[in-house]
Chains A and B, each alone.
Chain A
Amino acid sequence: MLEVENLWVRYGTVEAVKGVSFSVPAGSIVSLIGANGAGKTTSLRALTGLVKPGAGELRFGSTSLVGLAPHQVVGLGIAHVPEGRRLFPKMTVLENLTMGAYRRSRADVASTLIMVYEHFPILKERGRQLAGSLSGGEQQMLAIARALMSRPKLLLLDEPSMGLSPIMTAEVGKIIRQINALDVSIILVEQNAMLALTLAQYGYVLQTGQLVMQGKAQDLLRDEGVKKAYLGL
């Protein structure tokens, strides 16, 4: 469904991503793990047009994503939950969700909202509250729900567990599984490698902008190097 080939991204004089390739089969969860500065976030930002790749090919189905603006990428069915959630804090929960469906018709918005509320009942209760007043966990739920409002085929999640308690992290994990069960493919970027590899079928390990290892998630979980470097075991 998604193919990334030899992606290079540069910020000023710093090469943030140096020739990374990965692919996401339809219906799967693929995870990118690695330390801070490994190039995970930058890879996602290149996919949705927030940064321009220096080189490389990005194909979604048969469409090339290179040179597209973020709003065009959303239109193709790719939703991106950026690092730090990036909600609209002075809008209500409902307004945030409606923004997620910006390119869709009003009738679509109503039916999608019903579906989203089934998965996130708390957001229905909090509908009139300002997004900025939600707890960290609720904000993460809202960020994911907002992305679902565009009815994506592919969902990019950047550090969904950041700053959350272990209980909330488990809750987010459950939600990610539920979304995947709706036939939405997912790229999960995480520093919490344990969470990422438990959820994903396939994993890629990035280090200072380069791909250093890849494999089935269960194999990576058993790998001694991965255990030592990323799982703290």
Chain B
Amino acid sequence: MTPALFVQSAIIGVSLGSIYILMALGLTLMFGMMHIINFAHGAVYMLGAFVIYYVFFQGGMPYFVAFVASMVLLGIFGYLVERSIYRPIKGGIEPTLVALLALTTFLQAAGYPVFGQLDKHVPPVFPGTRNILGVGISIERLMIIPVAAALVIGLYLFINNTRLGAAMRAIEQDKEAAALQGVNVHVVNGLAFAIGFALAAASGALMAPIFKLDPMMGEQPLLKAFIIIILGGLGSIPGAILGGLMLGLIDSIVATALGAEPAFLLSFVFIIMLLLFRPTGLFGYAS
């Protein structure tokens, strides 16, 4: 591998990692607070991408408007899922998981008649390449990095500096004690659903101009996000960020050097090795 190729695949790795991080953050946030794994996260990613297809490409609206619409619409959807699925189940973890799995299957199956059988494509938003250290990198992929960074920083500030953010941290540490301080746990859980769904939609929306769109497109990113939150430690936000970057780099650099299948295999080998030495993940702790 030449140095130029290495630089190129490293930058693409960070870009890919940014997408993974946006997916994993919501998953880990929801797991930390409610101990559920949101299987529907991949389907939300897919819907987030299709909002771009319809609002930006078909509707002719500016990309920025479509991007915000994607996050807002799916954020609202997330809140409604809390209201109509999670809340009525009253904290039952297994029934919630089965219900979320059913929701995923429904959204994917409904995708074919609604969106059509053929793959969809969104034209580039930022065409062309940019020269970095002598290698050309697609601007589309580069732009993902600052957008994801802004969202991550925004989430971090929200969780650490606002009253609702404090309520989210309180629920994560002791749900009942949070309720006894006056936190409306249902509403704050709903907010976590909304944030998680909005971030998954954002990653789908960022990837829409790069990959083809089809109803199953969320499966691969969902699997990556699962790996990342286990790697980073379930419920840990710093863990999701570091884990996402690591997996993005492995996927890009190893895939460039050895091909996509070895990269897939290697990421699992890497995680199994890490978990052998640190069973709770990078930032996880035994409960």
Contact = CB atoms under 8 A, between A and B. Distances in A.
B119 interface: no
A177 to B, nearest CB: 23
Interface string A128-149: 0000000000000000001000
A12 to B, nearest CB: 15
Interface in B6-36: none
A98 B182 contact: no
B178 interface: yes
Contact of B174 (A50, A88, A95): A88
Contacts of A99: 166-167, 170, 178, 181, 183
A65 interface: no
A74 B166 contact: no
B182 A74 contact: yes
Contacts of B176: 50, 70, 82, 86
Q: Which label, helix, strand, loop or mixed, suits the secondary structure of the A interface? A: loop
Nearest to A150: B182
Contacts of A74: 180-182
Contacts, number: 62
Interface string B167-200: 1011001101111111111000000000000000
Contacts of A87: 174, 177
Interface string B151-178: 0000000000001001101100110111
Interface of A: 48, 50, 69-71, 74-75, 79-80, 82, 86-91, 95, 98-100, 102-103, 146, 150
Chain B CB within 10 Å, residue with most, of A69, A70, A75: A70
A82 B178 CA distance: 11
20 contacts: A50-B180, A70-B182, A71-B184, A74-B180, A74-B181, A86-B176, A86-B180, A88-B169, A88-B170, A91-B170, A98-B166, A99-B170, A99-B178, A100-B181, A102-B181, A102-B182, A102-B183, A103-B182, A146-B181, A150-B181
